[in-house]
Amino acid sequence: MAEKKKNLSEFIPFKFSSAQNMEIGIVVSEWNDRITDSLLNGAVQALMEHGVRNEKIRIHHVPGSFELPLGAEWLLKQTPVDAVICIGCIIQGETRHFDFIAQAVADGIMHVGLKYSKPVIFSVLTCNSMEQAEDRAGGKHGNKGVEGAVSCLKMLALEESL
Domain ranges of the chain: 49-82+101-121
User: Per residue in 116-146, pLDDT tens?
Assistant: 999 999 999 999 999 999 999 988 899 999 9
Q: Which of 50, 60, 61, 97 is catalytic?
A: 97
pLDDT for 3 beyond 50: no
pLDDT, residue 72, reads 98
How far is it, in rounded angstroms, from Cα 98 to Cα 102? 6
pLDDT for 15 beyond 80: no
Sheet holding 24-29, edge to edge: 57-62, 24-29, 83-91, 120-127
pLDDT, residue 23, reads 96
pLDDT for 20 beyond 90: no
How far is it, in rounded angstroms, from Cα 8 to Cα 99? 24
Average pLDDT, the chain: 90
pLDDT for 18 beyond 80: no
pLDDT for 6 beyond 60: no
> 68-78 vs 97-116: helix axis angle to the nearest 10?
20
Q: Characterize 68-97 residue by residue with b for buried, 16 or more Cβ atoms within 10 angstroms of its Cβ, and e for exposed.
A: bbebbbbbbeeeebbbbbbbbbbbeeeeee
Concerning whether 61 is annotated as a catalytic residue, the answer is: no
pLDDT, residue 145, reads 96
Q: How confident is the model at residue 95 (pLDDT cuts 50, 70, 90)?
A: confident
What share of residues in the chain are helix, strand, coil (percent, to 5)? 50, 20, 30
In this structure, which amino acid lies at residue 105? V
User: Per residue in 55-84, pLDDT tens?
Assistant: 999 999 999 999 999 999 999 999 999 999
How far is it, in rounded angstroms, from Cα 22 to Cα 97? 37
Distance of CA 116 to the CA centre of its chain: 17
pLDDT, residue 7, reads 54
Average pLDDT over residues 86-96: 90
pTM to 2 decimals?
Answer: 0.91
Question: Comparing C-alpha atoms, which of 153, 152, 155, 148 is closest to residue 9?
Answer: 148
C-alpha distance from residue 35 to each of 14, 20, 32, 49, 88 (Å): 27, 28, 6, 21, 8
